[in-house]
Amino acid sequence: MNVDFHLFVDNFVSAVEAKDSYTAGHSDRVADMTILLANKIGLSEEEQFSIHMAAHLHDIGKIGIPDGILLKSGTLTTAEFEVMKSHSEVGYSILKNNPNLKVISEMILYHHERYDGTGYPRGVVGDDIPMGARIISICDTFDAMVTRRTYKDKSSIEEAVEEIKRERHKQFDPEIADAFIELLTDEVSLEEIRGIVRS
């Protein structure tokens, strides 16, 4: 039986969308941006595909987060945020036992790590964070900044660029940050990204 892996992933993400309508649209946007960024950096088509699939699935662990926390419209308490942070570990645990998904599961596990080592869940530093996770991290953060939520207004693309500049060497790999900023300041690629975040 031939299975369209991309379609299967889309269906899998729909399980989270059933709980949280924001997640699937967010995951689609992040996945589309990772392709642009991975291509900009010069990664192979195989690497781009793996990162794209991991980006679609990066929030799949939210299926294990209680609705009262996942769907809360206000600011999470410290305890609630600790529960929310577990979604990367939950997502990893869902996929880790499939040897064909090892690379993807590790990107999901590490997509909230920070380049300076202050992220979660493992506090991994710099280049020890998988390249795909570093790419997903910046696209994930950018989409969260420029998307309006019930508890926050959206930032402009210009404001997001300034935030990314501030977080070079801290939250983000500086080379990946610079490549993403180039995408956001190039007229052609910026229009593509505007199309993605409007979708």
Q: Considering the chain, what percentage of its residues have pLDDT values greater than 90?
A: 74
Q: Are 124 and 182 in contact (CB under 8 A)?
A: no
Write out the two tokens for 116.
């300076």
Write out the two tokens for 70.
């996942």
The whole model's pTM is what? Answer: 0.93
Rg of the chain's alpha carbons, rounded to an integer? 16
1 pLDDT above the threshold of 50:
no
What are the pLDDT digits (tens) for 90-114? 999 999 999 999 999 999 999 999 9
Write out the two tokens for 186.
């190039």
Fold adopted by 5-198 = Hypothetical protein af1432 (1.10.3210)
